[in-house]
Amino acid sequence: MVCRNEVRVKDPTSHTVITIAPNKVYVVKNHRGKEIKIGLFISPRTSKHFRALLPYTYSCE
């Protein structure tokens, strides 16, 4: 299921800041035990997948 809430992230393939909704959101724990959210995105220019850190308050609807 694709999320509808858009987020501003930096596209590592085209090196631009874009506003896009993630395809999938993962909640993982880092080495200190803190939960972080990572989103899986598809670049609109190059159609390549990339990951980016999401704000903790982000909710997927």
Please give the full DSSP string across 22-34, using - where no structure is assigned.
-SEEEEEE-TTS-
pTM: 0.84
Q: Which domains does the chain have, with CATH numbers?
A: 7-54 (2.30.30.610)
pLDDT value for 61: 74
Q: How far is CA 55 from the centre of its chain?
A: 9
Q: Report residue 1's pLDDT band, with 50, 70 and 90 as the boundaries.
A: low
Contact between residue 6 and residue 22 where contact means Cβ atoms under 8 Å apart:
no
pLDDT value for 3: 86
Of 60, 54, 61, the residue nearest 28 (C-alpha): 54
Q: Report residue 41's pLDDT band, with 50, 70 and 90 as the boundaries.
A: very high
Asked whether the predicted pLDDT for residue 32 surpasses 90, the reply is yes
